[in-house]
Chain A
Amino acid sequence: MTEIVQVVIFGFLLGGVYALFASGLTLAFGVMRIVNLAHAVFIVAAAYAVFFAFENFGIDPLVSIVFIMPVAFVLGVGIYVLFFGRIEGSPRYVEMTVLLTFGIAIMIEGLLGWRFTGIFRQAKPAYLTDAFFVGDFLFPTGQVYAALLSFVLLIGLWAFLRYTRTGYGIRATMQNRSAAQLVGVNVRRVSAISFGISAALAGASGAMMSYLFPFFPFRHWQWIALLLALVVLGGMGSLKGAVIGALVLGVASSLVVDQIGAAWGPMAFYGALFAILLVRPRGLFGKEVAA
C-alpha cells in the first residue's frame, strides 16, 4: 500500500509540472485556435538557455524563471506577429497553424542541434538529488519545488484571466471571437498577447525541464506528442482540462512505470488519447468541435 501511495505522490508531482507544460499549448488553441506543434521546442530552447545560464553563471534554474518569462513573452509576441498575423482569417486556419508551427519547430530544432549538438543536457543544482520525508513518504526536493512553482504560476494565470481587463478580453476571445470584437476587444492584440503568455509559460516550463528531464533537441517531438495527447484528453482550449488531465496522466503514467516498466510511461498518455477519441472526442472539458 505504501508503495502505491508513494507512486501516486510521484505522479502528482509530475502531473503538476505537466500541467504547466501543457497550459501554454491549450491557451494558444483556446484563444487563437493555434495548434502549436512548436510548443515543446520552445520549452527545450528555454531549457538550453537556463542550462547555460546555470553552467556558465551559476544562476539557479528556478531563479531563471524571472528572466526567461519576460524574454519568452516578447519572443512569443514577435513570432505571432511575424508568422500568424499573415494567416489570420484564412480558410482552413487550424490546419495552417499545424503546418506552420511544424515548420517553425523544425527550424528551431535544427538551429539548436547545430549550435548545441545532440548530447544530453541536464542542469544539476543541489536540489536535484535532495529529498525529504513526510512520514513514510519520500519527496524529491527538486520535483516539489517545480510542482509548487507550477502551482503558483497557474494560479497567477487564472487570476490574471479572471480579474484583469486584458484577461477579460482574452476569455471573451476564447469563448466567442466575433462577439468579443463587437464589444470592443482588439482580438488581434489579444491574440498576440496570448501567444506571448503561452511562450512565457513555455519559458518557465523550460526552466523546470532543464533539471528535471535530460534533454537534447530532437526530444521535443516526444514531448509534444505527450502534451498534445494531454490537451486532447482535457479538452482543447480548456485550462481546467489541461490541469486535471495532467494530474490524471501524471499519476497514471507513474503507476504504469512502477507496474510495467520505465519505458512504458508514455503509453498512459497515448492510451488515454485513443480512449478519449473513442468515447468523448471533445475531451473532458472541451467544447463541441467546430469544423
Chain B
Amino acid sequence: MALLEVRNLDAGYGKGPDILKGISLEVEAGKSYCIIGPNGAGKSTLLKVISGLLHPRSGEVAFRDVPFDRPRPDQVLAEGICFVPQDQAVFAEMSVKENLTIGAYLERNRSVIKGRMERVFELFPILAERASLDAGKLSGGQQQMLALGRALMIDPEVMLLDEPSLGLAPQIADQIFSTIQELEEQGITIVMVEQNAVRGLELADWGVVLDLGIVRFEGPADTILEDPRIRELYLGKAVTTEEAT
C-alpha cells in the first residue's frame, strides 16, 4: 500500500484554469521521488495541494489510505508531511535557533526539541556556528539548509521539497543534494520538485514528468534519465554527469 496517494486531482488558483488535470500518483514509504517538467506544468502546485496550502477542485490526497478533507496546512504537518517551499521558507527576523525552535512548534516536549536541534546542528555544522544570527542574514545556501533543518525538527515521515537547489551555486547544490540523500537513507520519504532535472533524477528512486498538468511519463529514475525522448524534450541536449566532467 502506498504511503501517500494522489487520486485524480484537479487543481487551480482562484478562478483561473485547471493547472493540474486528473493527476494520480503513488508514493511509497522510504523512497525518493523527483518531479520534473517545464515551467507552469504544475509541479509546485502539486506540492501545495498535498501540503494543504491549496485545496483541489476534484480528486483527493490520501495518507495511509485515509483521504484528507480540505485540511489546513498545520493538520497535514501533524500527520508527518512537511513542506519546504521554494522561497520564503525561513523567518528572516528570527535567529537560526528561533527558526529551528519554531520548526518544532507542534512538539511540546522540551528535551525532544533539544535533541532534534542537536541532530540538525550535526547535519549542518555551519548552522551551529551561526545559531544566533538572524536568518535573513544567511547566504542563500545556508538559508536552504536552515529550511531543511527546520523541516527536520518535526521528525517528518514525508518531506516535500520545492526546488531545493534553486539559485544555489553548484557546490552548495551538491551539498544540499547529498544531505537529501542522507535523509532518504535515514528512512524519510522524499518528494522533490527539481528544475535541475539531471541531478534530481540521479538522486531519486522514481521519476515523474509533469507536463501541461498531467503526468506524462513516470518510471524508475534512471530509466527516465536514459530515455532518449525524455532527454530530448526535458533534459535539453544535455548531458549525463559523465559527459560533463
Chain A residues near B (Cβ < 8 Å): 91, 165, 168-169, 171-172, 175-176, 178-179, 181-188
The residue from A91, A165, A183, A186 contacting B103, defined by CB atoms under 8 A apart: A183
B150 interface residue (CB < 8 Å to A):
yes
- Residues of B in contact with A (beta carbons under 8 Å apart): 14, 51-53, 72-74, 77-78, 82-85, 88-94, 98, 101-103, 105-106, 150, 154
Note all chain B residues with C-beta closer than 8 A to A172.
Answer: 91, 94, 102, 105
Q: Are B105 and A179 neighbours in the complex by a CB distance under 8 Å?
A: no
Q: Which of A91, A165, A168, A181 contacts B74 (CB 8 A)?
A: A181
Task: Give CA–CA (A169, B74) in the complex, Å.
Answer: 12
**Set A165, A184, A187: member contacting B154, Cβ < 8 A:** A184
Residue of B nearest to A162 (CB): B98
Are B74 and A186 in contact, with the CB atoms below 8 A? yes
Closest B residue, CB atoms, query A91: B14
Q: With contacts A184-B105, A186-B74 known, what are 9 further pairs, Cβ within 8 A? A: A165-B105, A172-B105, A178-B85, A179-B90, A183-B74, A183-B102, A183-B106, A184-B74, A184-B77
CB atoms of B51 and A179 under 8 A apart: no
Residues of B within 8 A of A176 (CB): 88, 90-92
B94 touches A171 (CB 8 A): yes
Query: Are B106 and A179 in touch, CB under 8 angstroms?
Result: no
Question: What is the CB-to-nearest-CB distance from B15 to chain A, in angstroms, rounded to a whole number?
Answer: 10
Chain B proximity of A91: nearest CB distance (Å): 8
In the assembly, what is the distance between CA of A85 and CA of B154, in Å?
28
With a cutoff of 8 Å between Cβ atoms, the chain A residues found around residue B90 in the complex are: 176, 179
Q: Which of A178, A183, A185 contacts B88 (CB 8 A)?
A: A178
Complex interface: chain A residues within 8 A of B72 (CB): 181, 186, 188
Complex interface: chain A residues within 8 A of B94 (CB): 171-172, 175
Question: Nearest 10 A-B pairs (CB), nearest first?
Answer: A181-B73, A184-B106, A184-B74, A184-B105, A184-B77, A183-B105, A175-B91, A186-B74, A182-B83, A175-B93
**Cβ of A179: which chain B residues have Cβ within 8 Å of it?**
85, 88-91
Residues B101 and A168 in contact, CB atoms below 8 Å apart: yes
| Chain A residues with CB below 8 A from B92, complex form | 175-176
Given A178-B53, A185-B74, A186-B72, A168-B102 contact (CB < 8 Å): yes
The residues of B that contact A169 with a CB separation of less than 8 Å are 102, 105
Min distance, Cβ B153 to any Cβ of chain A, angstroms: 8
Task: Let me know if A168 and B53 touch, CB within 8 A.
Answer: no
